[in-house]
Chain A
Amino acid sequence: MRGTKQQQQHELQRQQAQKPMNGLREVLWMASVATCIKMLLMPTYHSTDFEVHRHWLALTASLPLNQWYIDETSPWTLDYPPFFAWFEYVLSFFARIVDPVIVDLTRGLKYDAASAVYFQRGSVMCSDLLLFLGTWRFCRNFPLKLQILSYLAIFFSPGLLMVDHIHFQYNGFLLGVLLLSVSYLKEGNDLTGGIMFAILLCFKHLFAIAAPVYFVYLLRHYCHDLARFLKLGFSVMLVILTAFGPFLYYGQIAQVLRRLFPFGRGLCHAYWAPNFWALYNAVDKMLSYLLRMLGFDVVMEKAAMTGGLVGDSKAHAILPQITPGLSMFLVLLSMSPCLIKIWRKPRRDNLLICVVYAYTCGYIFGWHVHEKASLHFVIPLVLAAVDSVKVAKEYYFVSIVSYYSLFPLLFEPREYPVKMIFLVLHSTAMWYGFAINFAPQTQTSVKESELKERNGCMSLCIKKKMFIAGLVGLEIYVQLIHHLVFEERLPFLPLMLISVYCSIGLMYAWLKQLSFVIEL
């Protein structure tokens, strides 16, 4: 009896999965709910990134093409590739209708009237349509329950809500393009996938970290003969020329590249992104304090790690200096197992894990990494997590740690309950979602007691549980205890602690992903 019921369910799911519009209604519903929540977030704190993008609207609207990468009216110069500039240009048409001051180059400086806020936030919400499309396209052949779980994890990702819709950025649609590209590759449509990836690079060059993976995969999987290689190469070159061509014509390529790759900035951002370098910096600081106390003459730079606008400084007192070249070398070195695997077994199913791994390596060893870059590997990881329990456990752990590490971005007290509630809801929903999905027999309505029995397969190991408990303790310290103990001294200590603690978690995540890649 049980057997036939299970068979029937599987059959039903298979039939459902084959409908092309499968899950569309659920996507629309979840997208609408997410958009409403984003509307409620409109009056929240926005960072300087808001002014950055507003300025780019004004820049592209008011100046001719050959001034875009040269203009210095505002310190927030254009440092994204040309397609993003075109995107801002298109938006500026609408901005002008809403409120012309937004796109005024001089009058609009630091303009944050309600019209500007609503317009910009609205533009992020609209561009998220690409995220919805990309996710749906990837997931549309999953069984309905897995689809719903993916949409829940991605559309309502606390990281995206915090970074895109509060702090203000446009990561959503870029990740959507990435997911679209991966979805084409998953279906075997390599040429389109490759072209989409090239387009993505011309929107934000940071995504180029996964380029080696794409290159090797497409070389081995698609380019069986010279004709295909030429076709792919030609298409990609065409995309790049469309983007950079005009600037090549104006002879500004050097300037453009200088803007896109500002290596004058330090190894770490002002708030150390929780990667390997954060640990490196922390060790360096500890060593220098230690040696100082032991009487050695140590030259210590004050707050030398700040990135942002100004350039070079001797960052490390004891440990060797890190150069951009060294950082890139380490990134490529850590990616090499993955590249070797893809070279040997260029299979479609492996691609997503490798792309995610590539972004993780880029995050762990990259130069001047922002903590926001963790979104690049956490979001796509969801799609790998819905298939397999062990990836799900890693995703659950990594998402909590990386979303927590984004908390310092929103430092005003108004947003505190909001970000806390997002994270707590996300963790709870993901836990139940994965637990129900990986239960031996999924039914439509699962009673609480049965759920507890089946939770066994989703239980995290003791180390992870303790780490997450430590996060709670850390938060209590940062919010309450530090001020009581130290008052105004050592103001950088809470942030440093968060950064170092999370980097331990993320380093663990990186190693775990490495093990997945090796097992492929």
Chain B
Amino acid sequence: MRWTVLTSDAIIFFPAVFAFSMAFHHQRRFDESAWAFAVILLQPALILIDHGHFQYNCISLGLTLGAVASICLHRDYLASVLFCLALNHKQMSAYYAPAFFAYLFGKSIRKKNPIFEVMKLGVAVIGTFLLCWWPFLHSRTAEAVLLRLAPLQRGIFEDYVANFWCASSLVVKWKQIFPNTVLAYLALFATLVSFLPSVVQQIRSPSHRGFLLSLFNSSLSFYLFSYQVHEKSILLPLIPASLLILEDFSLYRGMILCAMFSMFPLLRRDGLVVPYIATFALHLLLLNVPFLEKSLSHVKERQHPSLKYMSDGLLFTGCLIDLLYLLIEPPPRYPFLFEALNSLLVFICLVLIGLHSHIQQWSATSTHEQIDADKVKMN
């Protein structure tokens, strides 16, 4: 079974990362792009979840990455098709849907025949969906499938996730006040509101860098405000952050620390503590290679100091909490003390990172010129 994950990882995820690297980093020096390539591939969170906990995230993430790479190569239809395939593999990929929509829509309305462009994209999307759902439409089991995809009865959150509902439930006991359906609508509303700014920005001025940031922002907003979020969903904001590593190192550093610490309770339950420590340490060592220091100095220098201090603080506090979690029994009155502390800490950091990334996206350089320049290149 493990071989199937490894193989699908190798066949789908690795080539997608390579394609992205070629598309987005091709103007960088070899050292930098090779290092970024290594960092994206050696993602400890993905390795631990897919190969430790056992899941197949690499397929949908790989397809999404393929879509992102296609966008960077200006192949929009391919991108739509790939992303629809990703959506049909795991509905969690819908976390990225607003970003894709915003960018493609924003790009389409700037072209010569906007309605026609939108229709073409629509055909691609609907076509892919039809292809995937064909067997189920035939036997009328589509409704059952849809019901399975949206398990409302599980409640707004399970265990201790670093998202808004869980963190605020320390103060406001959501589950006790509202029934599930109302909470579902509340979550939907909150999520919509939170990803709206980044969607608007992309529609107004689409660009590649903005698109990546928008991917990050929309998936982060889904993670923070959506209904029934798993700890493993932290992978979804994490991947776009890793794609941006050469642009904004402090964003990625903060994000990887948040992701790893947020997953610790899950991994501890799975008995994966030693691999967690080993892969986490390896990744931090990869981020600080002594013999690449000169080559990467200007990437590291451009870190935002506030985010850097936050990450350092997070590293220290997170390690402390994890250590306590491993060594000490929690007091009987608060059996989930450490999990709660952990998720609260990560939530705060995620909010800070989210604010930072939204500011980044809005201050991205104007792109009318960029899109027009691209149009000129294509024609």
Digitize A106-123: 1 where CB-to-B-CB distance is under 8 Å, 0 elsewhere: 000000000000100000
Of A37, A148, A447, which is within 8 A of B291 by CB? A148
Does A468 count as interface, using CB distance less than 8 angstroms? no
CB <8 Å contact, B289 and A36 = no
Contact B278 A40 (CB under 8 A): yes
Expressed in whole angstroms, the Cα–Cα distance for A441 and B196 within the complex equals: 56
- 1/0 per position for A419-454, CB-CB distance to B under 8 A? 000000000000000000000000011010000000
Number of chain B residues close to chain A: CB under 8 A: 17
Name B234-291 residues within 8 Å CB distance of A.
274-275, 277-279, 281-282, 285, 288-291
A312 within 8 Å of B (CB atoms): no
Report Cα–Cα, A444/B295, bound state, in Å.
9
B26 at the interface (CB under 8 A from A): no
CB proximity of B32 to chain A, nearest CB, Å: 10
Given contacts A37-B278, A445-B30, contact A26 B291 (CB under 8 A): yes
Indicate if the CB atoms of B294 and A33 lie closer than 8 Å: no
CB pair B295–A445 under 8 Å, yes or no, is: yes
The reply to whether B282 and A36 contact each other, CB–CB distance below 8 Å, is yes
B329 near A: Cβ within 8 Å? Answer: no
Residues B278 and A39 in contact, CB atoms below 8 Å apart: yes
Cβ-defined contact, A29 with B294, below 8 A? no
User: Which B residue sits closest to A417, measured CB to CB?
Assistant: B6
Residues in B neighbouring A33, C-beta threshold 8 A: 282, 285
A36–B285 touching, CB < 8 Å: yes
Inter-subunit contact A29/B277 (CB<8 Å): no
B159: Cβ under 8 A from any A Cβ: no
Q: Nearest Cβ in chain B — how far from A268, in angstroms?
A: 36
Contact A42/B295 with A25-B290, A36-B281, A445-B29 known, Cβ cut-off 8 Å:
no
Bound form: Cα–Cα A77–B377 in Å? 77
| CB <8 Å contact, A29 and B290 | yes
The complex places the Cα of A30 from the Cα of B100 at a distance, in Å, of 41
Query: Which A residues lie within 8 Å of B277 (CB)?
Result: 39
Once the chains are docked, how many angstroms separate the CA of A118 from the CA of B271? 13
For B274, the chain A residues whose CB sits under 8 A away are 39-40, 42-43, 118
A29 and B289 in contact, given A444-B294, A445-B30, A445-B295 (Cβ under 8 angstroms)? yes
Instruction: Tell me which residues from 293 to 339 in chain B have a Cβ below 8 Å from any Cβ of chain A.
Output: 294-295
Tell me which residues across on chain A come within 8 A of B290, comparing CB atoms. Answer: 25-26, 29
Q: Taking the complex as formed, is A32 at the interface, i.e. its CB lies under 8 A from any CB of chain B?
A: yes
Chain A: CB-nearest residue to B281 = A36
User: Is B31 engaged at the interface, CB distance under 8 Å to the other chain?
Assistant: yes
Assess the A32–B30 pair: CB atoms within 8 A: no
For residue A40, which residues in chain B have a CB less than 8 angstroms away from its CB?
Answer: 274-275, 278-279
CB pair A445–B31 under 8 Å, yes or no, is yes
* Chain A stretch 145-169: residues in CB contact (< 8 A) with chain B: 148
Q: Which of A32, A39, A43, A148 has the most CB of B within 10 A?
A: A39
| Chain A residues within 8 Å of B281, by CB | 32, 36
Contact with B along A29-62 (1 / 0, CB 8 A): 1001100110110110000000000000000000
Q: Give CA–CA (A184, B321) in the complex, Å.
A: 45
> Chain A: which residue is nearest B295 at the CB level?
A445
**Residue of B whose beta carbon sits closest to that of A25:** B290
List A contacts of B30 (CB < 8 A): 445, 447
Mask for B1-44, Cβ within 8 A of A = 1, else 0?
A: 00000000000000000000000000001110000000000000
Min Cβ gap A115→B in Å is 13
* Closest partner residue, chain A, to B286 (CB atom): A33
Residue of B nearest to A28 (CB): B290
- List the B side residues contacting A42 at CB < 8 Å: 274
Kindly report which residue of chain B lies nearest to residue A40, judged by CB atoms.
Answer: B278
Q: Which residues of B contact A447 (CB under 8 A)?
A: 30
A118→B291 CA distance, assembly (Å): 32
Are A36's CB and B278's CB within 8 A? Answer: yes
| Residues of the B chain whose Cβ atoms lie less than 8 Å from the Cβ of A118 | 274
Interface residues of A in 66-119 (CB under 8 A from B): 118
Residue in chain B with minimal CB distance to A118? B274
Instruction: Determine how close the nearest CB of chain A comes to the CB of B26; give it in whole angstroms.
Output: 15
Produce 1/0 per residue, A440-475, CB < 8 A to B: 000011010000000000000000000000000000
Complex alpha-carbon distance, A144 and B293, angstroms:
14
Q: In chain B, what residue has the closest Cβ to A114?
A: B271
Q: How far is the CB of B288 from chain A (nearest CB, A)?
A: 8
- With a cutoff of 8 Å between Cβ atoms, the chain A residues found around residue B285 in the complex are 29, 32-33, 36
CB-nearest residue of chain B to A43: B274
Give the shortest distance, in Å, between B365 (CB) and chain A (any CB): 29
* Interfacial chain A residues near B288, Cβ < 8 Å: 29
Looking at the assembled complex, report how far the CB atom of A293 sits from the nearest CB atom of chain B, in whole angstroms: 45
In the bound complex, residues from chain B placing their C-beta under 8 Å from that of A445 are 29-31, 295
Question: In the bound complex, what is the Cα–Cα distance between A36 and B47 (angstroms)?
Answer: 15
CB closest residue in chain A, given B271: A114
Distance between Cα atoms of A116 and B273 in the complex (Å): 16
Complex Cα distance A505/B249, Å?
Answer: 49
CB distance from A215 to the nearest CB of B (A): 41
* A445 nearest in chain B by CB position: B31
A151 to B377: give the CA distance in the assembly, Å.
Answer: 48
Neighbouring A residues of B31 by C-beta, 8 Å: 445
Hey, which chain B residues are within 8 Å of A36, CB to CB? 278-279, 281-282, 285
Chain A residues near B29: list those with CB within 8 A: 445
Q: How many whole Å from B1's CB to the nearest CB in chain A?
A: 13
Output the nearest chain B residue to A144 by Cβ-Cβ distance. Answer: B291
What is the bound-complex CA distance between A36 and B274, given in angstroms?
A: 9
Q: Shortest distance in angstroms between A424's beta carbon and chain B's nearest beta carbon?
A: 15
Cα distance A439–B277 in the bound complex, in angstroms: 39
* Docked complex Cα distance between A444 and B292 (Å): 10
CB distance from A206 to the nearest CB of B (A): 32
CB<8 Å pairs between A and B, sample of 27: A25-B290, A26-B290, A26-B291, A29-B290, A32-B285, A33-B282, A33-B285, A36-B278, A36-B281, A36-B282, A36-B285, A37-B278, A39-B274, A39-B275, A39-B277, A39-B278, A40-B275, A40-B278, A40-B279, A42-B274, A43-B274, A118-B274, A148-B291, A444-B294, A445-B30, A445-B31, A445-B295
* A-B pairs with lowest CB-CB distance, top 9: A39-B278, A36-B282, A36-B278, A40-B278, A36-B281, A25-B290, A29-B290, A26-B290, A33-B285
Given contacts A29-B288, A445-B29, 11 further A-B contacts (CB under 8 A): A26-B290, A29-B285, A29-B289, A32-B285, A33-B282, A36-B279, A39-B274, A39-B278, A40-B278, A42-B274, A445-B295
